[in-house]
Amino acid sequence: MDNFQNTNKARRYKAHVSIFGTTQIHLRNPWTVAMWSVAFPGFGHFLLNKYFRAFSLFLWEVIINQVTKLNLAMVYSFTGNFEAAKEVLDLRMVIMYIPVYLFAIWDSYRTTVDLNNIYTLAKREDAQFNSFSLGAFEINYLDKRNPIMAVLWAMTIPSVGQLYVHRIILAGFTLIWTAVFMYNSHFLEAFIYLINGNLNKSIAVLDAQWLLYVPSFYFFTIFDSYVSAVENNKLFEDEQGKYLKNHYQSYIFNLMKLNKVDTMHIFATFEHSTYLELAITELEEHGIQNILAVPLNNRTEERKLFDNLHQSDGVSLISKGMILAFLFSTIGASRGFVMEWGPIIWGLIGAGSGFILGFIIDLFIKKISKRKQKLLRGKNSEVVLIVECGEQQKQQVERILWNKLALGVAELNQS
C-alpha cells in the first residue's frame, strides 16, 4: 500500500520507496564508485542500486578468487614470497578473472556518469513519487536518519547499518556473507586468542585466503550505510518541502491590516522533520486552517567534516579515508602473517593509517577548492511556519509549536 500510485506518465523519477528499501538516483563521484569496484567487483554497482549486476559480479569474484587462490597469492606477494605466490595461483582461471574485473570498474564508472545526467533531468522534471509504503511484512517511509549512528552500527557488524537505513535487500545479502567470511577466516576465533594474549595461536588459526575478503567488505558496508543515510535525509527534505509548497501556500496572508481585527499571526521556524507535519496536522485538528509553510533555501558555504541528522550535504571528508582504509588494512593484514604483531593488529593499524591519510587528502583538497557546498551548522531554520489564529488560541498554538520542537516562535498582534 503506497501513498502515491504511479501512472508512469513522467519520463524520469528520482526515487522509489518500497517495503524493501528506498531506491534513489543522486549525484555521485564516478571515481569513488569505480574505486569500490576496484576493491571488490560488485560494490560499485551496489552503490548505484544495480542489484542484479552487483550480485553477479560479487559471486563471480568470490568463486573465481576461491578457485584461483588469488587472495592467498596476494598475501605471499605482499610478504615477498613470490615463488609461493606463483605456485598457488591457478593461471587458467586468472585469465578469465581479469576481463570481468576490468569490466566491473569500467561499467560502474560509465553508469555513474549516465545516472548523474539522468538525475539532473529527473530533478528538473520533478515528478512525484511515493514516500510511504505499507505491506504485510514491512513498513518503509521517508524520514531523517543520523549518518553517524549508521556508521556506528555498521562498525559493530556489517549489514546492521544498512538495516538502520532500510536497505533490506543489501543488508540481508551482506549479513549472510559476513557470516561466511567470518566463519571461514576464523577471524573471531583469532580475535579471542589475541585479546587473551595468545598471539602465535591467533596467527596460526587465521585462514589467509578468506581473511583478505574482510577489509574491503567491512569498510564498504560502513561507507554505504553512511552515504545512504545522508542521501535519504536529503530526499526527505526535498519531498517534504515540495509537500509543504503544494498544501500550505494557498492561503494569502494580509499582515498589513488597517482595521482592528481579533486575529493574530504566530511565526515559527523548524527543521525539516516529521515533527513539523505533526505540528501542522495538530493545529488543523484544533480548527486552525490558515497556515502558511515556506521552505527556506539555506546559504552555501564550505563543506563540513561529517554529516549528521541535522546537516547532510553528502560531501563530508570520509570517501577517500574509507577507500584507503580497506587498501591499507588489506596490505597490513597480509604483511602481518610474517610480522611480530600478527595480521589482525597490523590490519587495524593499516585501516587507521589509511583512513587518516585519506582524511588529510580530502582536507587538503577542501582547503584549495573554491567550490561551495551547503553547510548547516547545528540545528538550523529550514522552514518558516506562519499561523493565523484568534487571540484566545494563542497559548494553545504556541504550546503545540514548542512541543513539536520548533526552533523559535514569535507573534505579531495588530489588534
pLDDT digits (tens, 9 = 90+) for 66-95: 998 888 888 888 888 888 888 888 877 878
**pLDDT of 343 over the 70 cut:** no
In sequence order, the β-bridge partners of residue 134 are 139
224: confidence class by pLDDT, cuts 50, 70, 90: very high
Task: Output the nine-digit C-alpha cell for 285.
Answer: 485538528
Q: Looking at residue 411, what is its pLDDT?
A: 85
Q: Looking at residue 311, what is its pLDDT?
A: 43
pTM of the predicted model, to two decimals?
A: 0.76
What does each C-alpha distance from 35 to 7, 40, 95, 298, 350 come to in angstroms? 37, 9, 21, 32, 18
Domains (range + CATH), the chain: 15-242 (no CATH), 249-296+381-412 (3.30.70.260)
**pLDDT of 287 over the 50 cut:** yes
**pLDDT of 406 over the 50 cut:** yes
Chain mean pLDDT for the chain: 81
The 3 state secondary structure assigned to the chain is CECCCCCCCCCCCCEEEECCEEEECCCCCHHHHHHHHHHCCCHHHHHCCCHHHHHHHHHHHHHHHHHHCHHHHHHHHHCCCHHHHHHHCCHHHHHHHHHHHHHHHHHHHHHHHHHHHHHHHHHHHCCCCCCEEECCCCEEECCCCCHHHHHHHHHHCCCHHHHHCCCHHHHHHHHHHHHHHHHHHCHHHHHHHHHCCCHHHHHHHCCHHHHCCHHHHHHHHHHHHHHHHHHHHHHHHHHHHHHHHHHCCCCCCCCCCCCCCCEEEEEEEECCCHHHHHHHHHHHHCCCCCEEEEECCCCEECCCCCCECCECCCCCCCHHHHHHHHHHHHHHHHHHCCCCCHHHHHHHHHHHHHHHHHHHHHHHHHHHCCCCEECCCCCCCCEEEEEEEEHHHHHHHHHHHHHCCCCEEEEECCC
The phi, psi pair for 353, rounded to 5°, reads -65, -40
**pLDDT of 367 over the 70 cut:** no
